[in-house]
Structure 1
């Protein structure tokens, strides 16, 4: 169970293609990312990628009305029915043709799938488990070209289908007597969206040339009458060319009606009430996406120029006109309340959620425009930094899976990123000839390191103290050393006769290891005038070098697919692993050799030791990531990072379906002018020819890193940044189990207040929920006694479990007390096993640091609130004092006036007496 890593999350890619959807409550966006589905929670600011995947990139996603089910269809028409509650696949189905759109009815009883020029209506899967979840109900024919969009009426009686042949068809979901099908024209280009008005059969249609047609129906939804069973249905089932799948249900063939046709009863009729144009001045180019919110009558349209418009219908009043970028808007979605609008741009891989009333972004994420090249974990495991071929450095939160800062100072590909020991500085090397340091406090580039003459930096390393920054050049074969404090160039290390491919500082000594294409690894002593301490000869070009966390071993990956292990003290080789057979690379579409022959030229591009130093992670020009035992020099486990056939070099054998009489279909290009067909890519070209007609990126792993806690590892691949973690809730791993260890016996010990015995039994059963129940039942004043009486073997287990609970639980003081007592009462025992406990201690540090950050923010917020309340109370007190003084003055004035009145009355009386 030590290597039971499972796919956990996908970072660095938020949208590729397909349609966006909002969840039922409107607080989350469901986005297709390649052949996976990601959910972005906008309220909690987090992301999650489902552990399911299709065989090719996803083209469309349909959500059920209750938000519990989703139908996911890939480019070939293979569909998955998935549960959004359990994140599990419920059913597999294949439509055999590419599907353009999927839409569930509002009542949740039916869903419609459009492929080519046909609309297929299926019974929606129920809550009971069925052998065949997709039961075909009706097949609708009518459009002459590909269908593009679907929309249902609010009562699920009818649905509309738009087509590329400029027509829109209205079909009845039931066998209505006065509305079986209706064809609407009026457009001169492909229909992008069709939308029913609320509680009506009135229709809005939007076409690619920027035209909006408003259609009015003379029949209300309640006026539709069901056709009697005695009447012969107007269908054409005798067609021989129908598929077997489509013969299961009723077939309805529509043709455009003419006013001359006489009907027995009055049929529903449409008339065009008005027509409007978005693109009057020709500024917006083609209309590419549209969405309509029925309750607010809000129409959102996106264009290929990156502009989107908000209109109020049916008056066609313009509310907003804004631009996202200069790239095409691929998909638009509106949440249930109508406040948030989601936009997807496939060209940039960008996902935006915009609140149109406040005119602000709720969510804005974008992955690397090109491939990711490097990654690094922060020392506490909270952040992950990635560098890409687009010259950007992005920093991701490992808990939420979202990017919170992007640095764009580099002007060329970023080849390496590293965190310093404090975790608040990121240093990156680039092919633009600069090494830059970024501050995560102020989010700025505070230091730029350059060489005396221009050089392309392909490797980077920082020493343990964070004082020395070293970078290797791939064109001048030199290593440059700078001071982090001053930014001055300290030394240029020469001696390599080939490009410097990788650098690594020893964690415990001031020794720098550098691997090069000249088939050597050199150890440089940083104390003794930066001289070469040792030179290790290799059997092939050195690609990657990595120190073990204790600094007592060195691993080197070479071009021949081998990993060799060295003792840096004695410069002796201690072992080697031949990993060429473990890569198991696939063949490209344009390869004329087998995958077995192609694997001979593959090698590992990245190495990383685990936190305890017992295993090493390796990946390279393959879809596999391998974990080797550093002690035994043997393969422990392999992970397949992708099964997406949309990438190149995925299949090991030729696909017979793509074979023609002239050879493989990929090698035959009808537009090629030469006789040889398609040009074969040059050896060593990893990313493909961007100018070719059919470009498929090649699957590969460019960088790998274990998290400091050892509970997860990250891999940058063609898909994005993949996170694999140990999910204990899915793995049953009992320890020292016998018949007496049951949940009832654990709870009986709790009733007897035998706390230590209950904890031991719970850990022997090893169920997370039961262990948490036992721990939280222990009284706070008994924690010290329980910790002192625990057996040694359970101290480590309890400490690890407390560290995992501390990260999620709100009982902060309770679990901090457990941590303190365990560490204080078993100090010497834990010191002796510090190497094994390192991941646990780092997990504890990560949890405590996160709580400290959250509490410090809350305390600061409370301090400012208290200051504000204090100032407000002082202001009110001063105002009250002023008011009281004014009242006293008024009272004195009244008394003086009364005295004056009394004197005047006395004077008047005296005058009368006189």
Structure 2
């Protein structure tokens, strides 16, 4: 049976009316014989299919709303025939006392989940929705409602009961009034005709009252106002309820009459009185309880509406006065009471005992006894809560509670201290649940839930979850400064263990961020603030990535890769032992961690826009727009673009209520709360390139490819002024000045214009200087300067008073500048480019201060700073948003100019200690094979940015030869990089290949001009006439081992062997390949010719007969679809050229261009567009089963493999960044910004376009040894 997706919507099961947590709050049905007419009235409405779609139970505090709703749910659940009687479809009982039950965003997913349990057709329809949009439950409320409720209901309409009822209780107890209003608008909207009815209960709060009364005006029978009921009926119900509750209490008739009279018409009053009387009877203090109640005001004359609070206040005051008068330890009891009321979720007596440092739960129970009239203790669970939410309101309102007032800041500070002390005292302080191996994810560990429940107490869970919330809500105390500092320096990692093992890691980053903000708002030591910030980044990086699947990898993976200079590494690495030690320039030059990468689309993100407060980021693409929470990456709004046309730009209004976006289909305003879109200018602008809100949010500027600028109202989208004409090319970018007085526009006409948005006139002269399209314009925060980015690969800064560029154009990009931004503090200019890089410049001097690593960017399109200037958000062509930290910026590393150019060829030096490489941008570098550092070069001489096709080391190690598409060859000193002869000319077209003779005295080259030429190393002159015979470009050349023959391979699909003395063809043309031959070698003994071709095959030939000896690659699945075989080579002992292919060395991301054995045969070096890789073959020396070495064009290098039964340990990296062994056991997780440079086994080392990375697994504490990797203190 197909598994349902409905559990994937994360329902809040504790909100169901009869859940365990509901029972813990003391909810239940009405007392027998009470509220019967009201419940029957509700059932009658539910039975009537014509009665309307919603009903409101309205009542002041204490009027019994929840009991009625609970009873109604119980009655509806008894319905046995779904076709004729109303049936409960779902319930959601809101509560301030349960965190997840006071958030509106959980209501719709929870209702949808319950409906799926009631109806299989609904479940099938819901599964369809979730298959197409698995994250539907994280969307905006309107999208949630439509996808999780409306669509499945309409599809399952015919199979549902006629009267399917959903009950939502205590809606007023939810957070965020706007969200409450929004969900009511959805429930009441006439736009949806659904086979379902809603019953909502709440206090008559303004945001609810207005909407529900509008419903009642149309449906008078859809309202039950509990505080307007006939007082006699209510008093009779209260009397029946109390007699049931106090049935076994020996009360006289006088006493009965007195307490019933005191209760009047308030059920909460009656409930509290019953609680007090029963407690008095149980503790032999009944007369005292009755005497205390006799001192309260008579509530019989007090209405149930406004004014009822006075009676409740009087009752609570009386009960507390009596309780504290009897108490021997009043201060302890006050602490207990305030802790219960201030707790951020319902807590047990065990948690109370721990937080208050009491000896045991018996002490808690003794302290609770005098307070049982106002507090509810569930014996089954041990949870203690206020008897009613009105008691919490009373305690936290000084004017009502008087001497019993709880000062929140004092109590929260005390709770913060208790939580931090509890975390500090945890044992053990490392590996709290005794995980035996780091090779498994937490979900794979058998019996982990049992271990967690044994090792992690509910008290510790509460402390870990809420310590920073109490910290921020509390007053400042010097002791807290020390406790917080100790937490970050000594207990952060074990705290992360607890959160992760209890499935609460999603809260981790916000918990630490709250603590960091607390540090920043107070005069704490500087190093404490720094470690708090670093902890936020550390926790964020862990929680937002797949590494959080395994708790042990907090230590095994996160710590080793964390930059050594960062505070977390400084604090915790000295306590480690036998940790993995990532090495190489990727680690040493790592400028900062990439905080997060969020994959939101499967295709490019055109634009991103940030809300003014930095909490929301909007993204646009061809098919949709999305709104994300910047603290978690959670998608909170997703709207598909029905036109499926590119959305080029997007922006969020200053108040966050609206978004504007535009593209090929025009421009639109979007109401974030409703999801409703409004076309700009009534759709009269067919294409939009750029949009921007004015600082006050009243208007929107639009730049259009029609060369015009428009100004529209952000309210209705109507045109205010325009079109503004002046540009002679399409407008690509618009921006408002910070004061809203001007609009800047950049254009394909290479100019920038400034406009007055009131008059529509151009201000001053156009800003001119760019030599190509202006792609982006951005204002400085003070409005004095403007930044522009262009297709001419430069950024310019303009003085808006003079209209002149104030500094030299900012250079560094090697492709068009797609976006610019100025940090809110005015210190930085950021630019994104088609060259895949993001650069940051000093806004005053124009100097480059940071180049963000390419490992985290992939074709950058758009970027924006956070309001605090500490982070930068960038979008990329592969559907991702990257979040970068900009604090503690290091100066950029002056790396090799080949950073952004593909490496095309690589060759070993004769001693095997170096390799030489050539690149597309016309440079040559020599690298140390042990360190990955450049030891010579970049060697420059060939025409810049023109493809260098090949390089070779002379066998004597003296020279390096290079060939280029600039039609020349060059000879370099291998010692100092000197250009020996300058350009060696002769070829008339691109030179494709070059090789030295065995005696180092000659060079052979091949060209697009169809000739092979031989050159004298000493003079740089040709020694014989060009060798002619091929009918197409020459792609490969080489010498025979004795230097007497020259071999050539051509795009004409043939091979020729030439006599060096005569220049004549002595063998060939050899035919058989079906495409260009781009690699050619003669075996050391001269018995075989080896060739590799773009046809995907390798052939060996008999040089005497010209016949093919062997053919490899032909039978490999998909090989004919590959771009071709780029390189083939003999191993030094000539054994590995043919035979069975049984190993593929994977690691390159792009086509492998060349491969060569090291002189001693221990390694293979290969190069690709993603860098140079060294493959260690020594582990396989005694296990060769075949004798073939080839290389494929989709990033794989294939060599003979060992017998898998005797294979040494090996590893690969999967798509989630996990390094796994042959059994798929987790060894290590590699951070996303370093994954590009990680080498799979047997890859020994990597030199990429920017960096190198090496990780050794020898003698490290991982797997079952991981428990030795850390020493807690």
**Higher strand residue share:** 1
Instruction: State the TM-score, normalizing by the size of structure 1.
Output: 0.42
**Higher helix residue share:** 2
Instruction: State the TM-score, normalizing by the size of structure 2.
Output: 0.32
